[in-house]
Structure 1
Amino acid sequence: MALFGNKIIGIILLILLVIRLLALRNVGLLVMTIGVSLGFIVTSTSINSKLKVDLPDQLENQVLKVYPDMVKTNGASFSYIGKLTGDAHKFVFYGRFKTQQQKRQLLESNEPILLRISGKVVDFNPATNVNQFDMRQYYHHQKIARAVVVDEIDSLGPSPQLTMVDRIHRLRCQFNHYCETLPKTLQIYAMGLISGSRQTDFFDEMTGVKKLGLLHVFSISGMHVYYFLAILNQFLAWLPLSKYGKAGIELVCIAAYFIFSGGSPGLFRAVVMAVIAISNRLLQIRLSRLDIWSLCLMINLFLMPEAMFLMGVQLSYGLSLGLIVSDGLSYVKQTVLLNLLTLPILLYHVYEWHLLSVAVNIIVLPLFGKVIFPLVIFGVIAGKVLPMMVLPVEFGLKAFNDGLNWISTLPGLITFGKPSLVIVIAMLLLTFCLVLKKVNHKRLMIGLCGLYVGTFLVIHFPLTGEITMFDIGQGDSFLVRTPMNRSVTLIDTGGKVDFSTQSWQRGVKNYQAKRLSINYLKSIGVSRIDYLCVSHQDADHCGDLPAYIQEMQIGTILIPLGMDKNPNFMKRIEGRHRATRVLPVNDEMRVNGLPLSIYHPYEPGLGENHDSMVLGATIGGLSWLFTGDLDRPGELDTISRHPELHSDVLKVGHHGSKTASDPQFVAHIKPKIALISAGRNNRYHHPNVETLETLKQSGVMVYNTQTQGMVRYVYHHNSGHFETTLNEHEGNL
């Protein structure tokens, strides 16, 4: 923690460790701990130094070995983690297939393929929004420092010489391709539970598994390793082998299973513990289960120290330790305590928790072990030997999965928000004390409940408000949230324009709002938007509206007058809840409760740029104006109809395009600060030089998502301050 994460918390934990060691007064243990710590520091420093990759910015005709089972695709886009021939460093390779035949040639192959590639070596983008998934950090934790954007691909054919690892990947490819011939639900369960593969639409089909906290079941881990070894031991019991021969076969097979199941960091813990347990049994060392867990943790810290920051690894170690310390409790008590142990980790990473998850886990976990897992294995085998039994298996699995999906729609999903790391550690320590029964049980429960309730109240009823410009690339999305969350208003949702021309290029629709703006809202405990204002119909302003409809409660959707007659837009909101009302507005309307005034449009339209909704307000001691993509004639019409209109902060129209920000309009509004939301290296070259010059001549200070990421104005009463996620130099990506 002190080396790779929060240094203050790391130092505090280190001090506690030292105090504990001194209290034990065991010189041997103290010396061993110091030795292990020094070794850890040396190896960690060595690992970090090896991550520094000195490569040219452009790669030409480099050879890459690709395992088709490890390639992730969505439409024409692909990504792959691998190594260039002759290089020891791992990279993430991104690119797009040029033809459908090129895509098929790679994905339909079972053999490892050699590709000749050319492309650019780039750094990972930093997280540009608060609480956004940090890709740079995520891959750094897995010893991957840089990425390659692939421009050209040329297949050199199958790899001529196959290693044992190659053969295992070939077997995994064959298994996955076979699973793709099975019915949909059986296919998802077989690939998820046996080979550890998830298709692009996994989370769309498995909404119940995600919301009810059952993802750990589909992350190949201890349960799956236990099943694998149980099946293997049944076969080995029939063979006349010595205990050393059986142990040798177990160790070889478990290593092969690690590769076959995808080799995730979370699985590494389960495999290493299994290897230590087999060695312990064979050599009669008499290590306890806690000793085995501790030794596994030490090995993990030496080989992959930063993997401990990954949620899957944290859950894996937390659950396995919980099983050890809660041994002897009844099944129900143990399941409840294990859920309490994982709860702080889940809240820190995903911010939500379903009240029914404990009950569902109590029922589903034994059902999974005794019914679902065997049923999946039977279904996979039946596909080859008893095809008529596949449909009954599919029916049973689909009924089970539909049941989980239905339960997840019941009331009880709590958007808790993101607790601080200090609070998470406190929650975990109190829960472990509860399991170990070291202090008064009743007082401990009261203290733990008080910590959860207090944290919830602090997150959900903040004393400050905010106006936030999300960094969603080429598009607009703004949040207006008042103190104590009395009112939450969103202006536009952002969204990407899809330029794909053929169906095979499009793939599954991924709404970026789910990982950016919606993710941020959930992290601050917001699950309901009172007013969602759509400035106009363009995809970069409302393309992600369906994601908000799926993920959030929405009170009212405000649209420019006449846009309700636009069938393309109305199709976007057809999945809205029946309690969500759609309200077309013009500049003469006042919407009760909306903390903004409407200044445009003044006549009906279909939602084109010139129909953009213009909103303004005085909040936190500053006046604000949001203009959507309103063009210059519209700007001049607006100040003509509202000559009193002035603003301290102007959301620059149309992402800084020269079609907006008329000098006369800017001079009339007299802004002190301008907000520009535009994508990095966008094809439109926004913001335009002419617009920037107009703002400069008027002495306007500019905040731009391209260079500063998310921009927040945090206020209390009539004073506030601006915060940016990136420094200027970090945003120039």
Structure 2
Amino acid sequence: MVELQFGAECTIDTLIELPNTATNPGQFDYAKFLKTKGIAYEATLSNLDDVNCRKTDGILHYIFQFRMQLLSYIDHHISEDAAVWVRALVLGDDSGIDDTTIDLFQRWGLSHLLAISGLHVGLVISMLYFIFIKMNVTTKETAHWIMMLGLPVYAILAGGEPSVWRACLMTLLVIVIMKLKWRINTTDVISMVFLLLILVNNTIIYHVGFQFSFSVTFGLLLSRRVIARDESRIRQLLWISFVAQMTILPLQFYYFYTFQPLSLLLNVIIVPYFTLFVIPTMFILLITSPISLLQSFFDHSFVTIHSIFINFLEIIDHYFNYPFVIGPLSVLAILMYYLTFIRFMQFIERKKQATAFYYGFLLVVILVSDASRPYFSPWGSVTMLDVGQGDAFVIEMPYRKGVIMIDAGATFSFNDQKATNSVFKQVIKPFLHAKGISSIDTIFISHEDTDHMGSIPFILHDFTVKSIIISDFYDQGNLPVSNSKINLYRVKRGDTIKMKNLVFHVLSPTNDKSSPNENSLVLYTELGGKKWLFTGDISKDEEAEIIHTYPNLTVDVLKIAHHGSQTSSDKQMLDQLKPDIGLISVGKNNTYGHPAREVIQLLESHDMSILRTDRHGAVQYHFKANKGTFFQVLP
């Protein structure tokens, strides 16, 4: 086996598989993402010896090899705190920036600052112009040729992101047009680059960075007269920030479901900070790295100032983190938004502020109206999320009269056995945001096992939760609500919880069984014309108690207890309850063997329709009044 090289022809001895697809609404779809890059299959290697490649002498290999050497050089000659930012902002490798900082920038719509963009390319061009022309190193003609040859190389070194190629190709076209003395305006140039990139790679149009980069650039070009006529540099920055944010707002809601209103002002402060200090300092650190004294000075200065900036951003995040969560805009709302925004900017350009104000007000009406759709919808839903080996149910009442969760499981780390935030970040949070949900009325926690409550701390951190309901025998030690304003209620058998026109009856537990599973909350409710029973992880003994205490109890939808374990789902219980639908929340290829074959056979013998997350993904029941339909994410 030879060393892997860019452009080499390789033979791989492995199985070709279909990539994983999203199993929950709102979840990142890896398979769809790969398709946008022209990739339909994936291969998982267990050993690099299974790869055999023929060497290549292509120039791209040497460029990428130089990139790897440069990354290694940065790590060895610049301090660790500064090196991660040099790698990210000079060569487009943000893998060294910690997840907390990345999440912080994402929450405030500042992710564009962590990626190589037209701003970086503009600074590179400015530096080259200053070195070659202002310092009389070369003639202007020679400098142009150096830029034309050097910019594509830098685009590859910087990771080849669409925003970098856009800026580099626009600069190259402008230079070529100047040499040919053609009269072509900037709007035509960006259109030519847009078409060129699509012709080279037609899947690039699906790239989020491509869409954001061209949208912002086009919006700023159309608004250049409004921006340029303002003599105040501060107001120009405000205009640039405003136009950029308003241009990508529908895209931001479409992909991320949220928007931080204060990010408009925050960008006015932070973009100049990155433009005038951070990005230039990154290039200076790289250039001065061979000179230890200069490098040490700039290194220490950057780390000191940038740590203050990060602390400032964390303070802002702590006290002013109030995002708008409305889910993706409808196609009609997006169309109306852009038509209205264009008219708004046209009247601003004509200095007809009064008319522009009315169009600005109409923009707000469009956004608010679209965000208010759930509050006028007679449809509700019950969703069994696919969280792997765990439970998480979300109930949305019609007209958004209530949002209720029953359990919120998580995976755990094998190192310390503590719950991780992966299920929350990848499944629960995207689903809630995609639904435009930022506030949860009530969370029922059946019991204290990680696969049922592990994501609760993360939900409490990112969402407003009004109340939590647990059993009388729940061990509260792992529930972080002691110092919060969340109402915590304990319930037992016979208690009734009323939530407007929805009523939950607690059927278990009645006494302490000294086991979290056996102490699980069992909830009965009637919703969407069906009778539901949520059973947590109770065993056959608790099932026997329930049917003995409630001999006339029947249900339509039964949440199969303990993920289909053979310790639950007693035949006598099924004989009495007579459920039509069995819901099993279970992890794919789990090590517990859930659901047990005996349980599945028993359910089938009772003519039940079985819906399980490992095969069907998330399962949703959409209802209106007393009629509804079950849907599954996977076919």
What's the TM-score, normalizing by structure 1?
0.77
DSSP-derived class of the 2:276 partner: helix
Aligned partner (choices 237, 252, 268) of residue 346 of structure 1: 252
Distance 1:157 1:141 in 2: 27
* Pairs within 5 Å for 1:240-389: 241=138, 243-330=140-227, 331=236, 332-379=238-285, 385-386=292-293, 387=296, 389=298
Q: What is the match of residue 604 of structure 1?
A: 512
Q: Can you list the C-alpha shifts for 1:594-641, whole angstroms capped at 9, x where unaligned? A: 842222222236663222221120111111011122222222222223
Q: What is the match of residue 299 of structure 2?
A: 390
Q: CA deviation at 1:209?
A: 1.9
Q: What is the match of residue 537 of structure 1?
A: 448
Residues 550 and 252 (structure 1), Cα distance of their counterparts in 2 relative to 1, 3 Å cut:
farther
Query: 393-402 or 331-340: which moved more?
Result: 331-340
DSSP-derived class of the 1:703 partner: strand
Aligned partner (choices 127, 132, 136) of residue 22 of structure 2: 127
Q: CA deviation at 1:141?
A: 1.1
> Is 1:417 aligned to 2:312, yes or no?
no
> Is 1:65 aligned to 2:4, yes or no?
yes
Q: Is the 8 A contact 1:430 1:448 kept in 2?
A: yes
Residues 714 and 576 (structure 1), Cα distance of their counterparts in 2 relative to 1, 3 Å cut:
farther
Equivalent position amino acid for 2:198 in 1: L
Q: Is the 8 A contact 1:535 1:613 kept in 2?
A: yes
Q: What is the match of residue 339 of structure 2?
A: 429
Q: CA deviation at 1:367?
A: 2.5
DSSP-derived class of the 1:490 partner: strand
Residues 180 and 465 (structure 1), Cα distance of their counterparts in 2 relative to 1, 3 Å cut:
farther
Q: CA deviation at 1:380?
A: 5.1
List alignment gaps of at least 5 residues for structure 2: 228-235
> Is 1:194 aligned to 2:90, yes or no?
yes
Q: Can you list the C-alpha shifts for 1:532-572, whole angstroms capped at 9, x where unaligned? A: 2222233322232233123212222333333325x5xx1xx
* Pairs within 5 Å for 1:442-521: 442-498=357-413, 500=414, 509-521=420-432
Q: CA deviation at 1:262?
A: 1.4
Q: What is the match of residue 407 of structure 1?
A: 316
Q: Is the 8 A contact 2:163 2:209 kept in 1?
A: yes
> Is 1:558 aligned to 2:455, yes or no?
no
Residues 208 and 461 (structure 1), Cα distance of their counterparts in 2 relative to 1, 3 Å cut:
farther
DSSP-derived class of the 1:675 partner: strand
Q: Can you list the C-alpha shifts for 1:133-154, whole angstroms capped at 9, x where unaligned? A: 2212211111222111222234
DSSP-derived class of the 1:145 partner: coil
Distance 1:341 1:156 in 2: 46
Q: What is the match of residue 213 of structure 1?
A: 109
Residues 452 and 633 (structure 1), Cα distance of their counterparts in 2 relative to 1, 3 Å cut:
same
Q: Is the 8 A contact 1:474 1:540 kept in 2?
A: yes
Q: Is the 8 A contact 1:636 1:665 kept in 2?
A: yes
How many residues are aligned here?
613
Q: Is the 8 A contact 1:337 1:435 kept in 2?
A: no
What's the TM-score, normalizing by structure 2?
0.88
Distance 2:329 2:51 in 1: 50
Distance 1:255 1:592 in 2: 65
Q: Can you list the C-alpha shifts for 1:659-685, whole angstroms capped at 9, x where unaligned? A: 221111111211111111222333333
Equivalent position amino acid for 2:101 in 1: E
Distance 2:137 2:277 in 1: 31
Q: Is the 8 A contact 1:206 1:405 kept in 2?
A: no
DSSP-derived class of the 2:432 partner: helix
Distance 1:196 1:563 in 2: 48
Q: Is the 8 A contact 1:537 1:607 kept in 2?
A: no
Q: What is the match of residue 9 of structure 1?
A: none
Q: Is the 8 A contact 2:411 2:420 kept in 1?
A: no
Distance 1:310 1:425 in 2: 20
DSSP-derived class of the 1:341 partner: helix
Residues 288 and 122 (structure 1), Cα distance of their counterparts in 2 relative to 1, 3 Å cut:
same
Equivalent position amino acid for 2:628 in 1: G
Q: CA deviation at 1:273?
A: 2.0
Residues 543 and 329 (structure 1), Cα distance of their counterparts in 2 relative to 1, 3 Å cut:
same
DSSP-derived class of the 2:493 partner: coil
Q: Is the 8 A contact 1:383 1:390 kept in 2?
A: no
Equivalent position amino acid for 1:273 in 2: M
Q: Is the 8 A contact 2:85 2:97 kept in 1?
A: no
Q: Is the 8 A contact 1:613 1:627 kept in 2?
A: yes
Distance 1:226 1:246 in 2: 15
Q: What is the match of residue 696 of structure 1?
A: 604
Residues 556 and 425 (structure 1), Cα distance of their counterparts in 2 relative to 1, 3 Å cut:
same
Q: CA deviation at 1:253?
A: 1.8
Q: Is the 8 A contact 1:196 1:261 kept in 2?
A: yes
Query: 153-162 or 443-452: which moved more?
Result: 153-162
Residues 199 and 141 (structure 1), Cα distance of their counterparts in 2 relative to 1, 3 Å cut:
same
Residues 657 and 119 (structure 1), Cα distance of their counterparts in 2 relative to 1, 3 Å cut:
farther
Distance 1:402 1:416 in 2: 29
Residues 371 and 461 (structure 1), Cα distance of their counterparts in 2 relative to 1, 3 Å cut:
farther
Q: Can you list the C-alpha shifts for 1:474-527, whole angstroms capped at 9, x where unaligned? A: 2211111211222211112122244x46x9xx9995512222222111111111
Distance 2:284 2:428 in 1: 43
Distance 2:51 2:10 in 1: 16
Q: Is the 8 A contact 1:529 1:555 kept in 2?
A: yes
List alignment gaps of at least 5 residues for structure 1: 1-61, 68-82, 88-116, 728-733
Residues 710 and 427 (structure 1), Cα distance of their counterparts in 2 relative to 1, 3 Å cut:
same
Q: Is the 8 A contact 1:620 1:715 kept in 2?
A: yes
